[in-house]
Amino acid sequence: MAASSAEPSLLRRFAPRIGLMLAALLTLAWIQRPDARLHVFFPALRGDAALVQTPNGLYLLIDGGNDPDALVTALGRRMPFWRRDLALVILTSPGDAGQVAALERYRAHRALALPSSAPNATRDTWRRLLARDATPVRALRVGQRLEIDGVTIQTLDCDDAGALIRLDYGATSVVFAHNVTPAMLEHRFTRRASLLVYPWQYDPHTPLVESLHPTAIIFSDGRQSRHPPQQTYHERAVGGARLYHERVDGDIEWVSDGRRAHIIISERAGQ
């Protein structure tokens, strides 16, 4: 009798805590639900990484930066706690340790990478993790197009040292040029870009940037140059583009409904 009477007492004692935990989980699930918009999140970390959330809640990871712990923390903060997979990963830099750390925790359904066969320990680990999950890996190639949940990913140019990738959603677009080679800067395109991700150490006054005529530019630190341009921040505003940098703005998020896009900054620079 004593044991049976203790059970209801324990239930009464822990029921409020269980209720609070369930309420917290439901609230978190509600906050993280898909909102029919495209989100591209740029966490403030060393190197370059972009997490794409499609309108129906699929996730794509482009590169991963050089701080594995920071990337994993950012993914955990942005992705729902029950989500343990990535619809697509794209690797445009063979030394991206961050994406390796992501693949240790999240299963990728598809993978794209530079067409390079040069030995690289980080890339070998990347391939081993994908093989563990039986993930098909394809080499990036010019003209390649994928459509995932209404979002089109196109490879505008690539070689064994860099890539130029465009993401389109409705009338809005992002061009990832953070790992372009100097030769790619001479390209001209007829379609504009809403957002351009571009190396800080490259002069933005190039045929590529001028032809894309982006509304906004996010500068990245992943690509280095022997002779970086001696230009002020505002001298880099080609065509009056709005300028952002993780060192200035912290985490950066680009959001599009397919017609218009806007940028949210966290102002966590330096953290």
Summarize the confidence of residues 250-254 as an average pLDDT: 97
- Each as own residue / partner, the long-range contacts of residues 246-251 (CB below 8 Å, 24 or more positions apart, any chain) are 246/42, 246/43, 246/44, 246/45, 246/218, 246/220, 246/221, 247/44, 247/221, 249/44, 250/44, 251/41, 251/42, 251/43, 251/44, 251/74
Residue 27 predicted with pLDDT over 80: no
Confidence of residue 238 (pLDDT cuts 50, 70, 90): very high
> Greater confidence, 21 or 64?
64
Q: What is the pLDDT of residues 137-181, one digit of tens each?
A: 999 999 999 999 999 999 999 999 999 999 999 999 999 999 999
Residue 1 predicted with pLDDT over 50: no
Summarize the confidence of residues 216-227 as an average pLDDT: 87
Domain boundaries, the chain: 1-31, 34-265
Residue 271 predicted with pLDDT over 50: no
pTM beyond 0.75, yes or no: yes
Summarize the confidence of residues 197-211 as an average pLDDT: 96
Least confident of 28-42, 205-219, 229-243: 28-42
CATH of domain 34-265: 3.60.15.10
Confidence of residue 26 (pLDDT cuts 50, 70, 90): low
